[in-house]
Amino acid sequence: MPKRVALVTGGTRGIGYGISLCLAKDGYDLAVCGVRDEPSVCDVLAQLRDVGGQVLYCQADVADAAARHKVLTGIQDRLGRLNVLVNNAGIAPKERKDILEASEQSFERVLRVNLQGPYFLTQAIANWMVQQKKNSSDFCGCIINISSISATVASPSRGEYCISKAGLSMTTRLWAVRLGEYGIPVYEVRPGIIRTDMTSGVQEKYDKLIAAGLLLQSRWGTPEDVGKAVAALARGDLPYSSGTVIMADGGLTVQRL
């Protein structure tokens, strides 16, 4: 039997790398997508290949329609199948600005990468998954969106990011409804404060908040924490839960008195 294949966007750094590594350890062949050229990520690709599977690198900006099409055709030509799509690629605003001052340019940039790109990548991949399902009743596939606690926790200094993640959360529900008839579940994983290069600039702030009791589990999250949640969903450990949101936030969003 051929190995299952997973596509992880933004899969060579931060949370995306944690996801890629966990899926590779679970025996998947990988297609990983990123904006950097391949020589810049060769060490990361080598680490993933050392786990034992094939790794195809697709240089692409998910906000670009032509680039998304190239990713899809590259996977079809090189790997011939796709079982799991993980929409992980995302960006923060270049500058945190109060919503009274934030620019349309920043809003458009963040939403194109964080919402429009994943929405239409999912459309293309979903159509291919449906065809794979029609061709083989044994086909098993799923789609997993990586959102953020910012889907529901308001941060007025980065409103465009919050809106993009709230939209991605609705995208999960929409695709879960649409693909239900084909037996293709769609899930959302919602990380909290995860230690990555993206959060390095606010490390001191969150160190203090965590020490003061912000979280029920008093530590930073790791990319592997998110990767393990994704791997469980991809394996089918929650087979009766399409549309579900899996929290990976250390209890940050649990309401307390």
Q: Give 114's DSSP letter.
A: I
Tell me how far apart the alpha carbons of residues 128 and 247 are, in angstroms, rounded to a whole number: 28
Tell me how far apart the alpha carbons of residues 37 and 39 are, in angstroms, rounded to a whole number: 6
Q: With the CA atoms of 225, 230, 233 and 236 taken in that order, what torsion angle do they form, in degrees rounded to the nearest 10?
A: -100
Residue 78: CB atoms within 10 A of its CB come to 13
Which tokens belong to 203? 């490390």
Tell me how far apart the alpha carbons of residues 26 and 23 are, in angstroms, rounded to a whole number: 5
Tell me how far apart the alpha carbons of residues 81 and 52 are, in angstroms, rounded to a whole number: 18
Helix axes 14-25, 223-235, angle to 10 degrees: 40
10 Å CB burial of residue 77 (0-12, 13-18, 19+) is exposed
161 as an active site residue: the answer is yes
Residue labelled with tokens 């992980």: 88
- Contact between 141 and 159 under an 8 Å Cβ cutoff? The reply is no
Of the residues 161, 182, 187, 206, only one is catalytic, namely 161
> Which residues is 187 bridged to in the sheet?
144
Which tokens belong to 122? 């999912």
Catalytic residues: 161
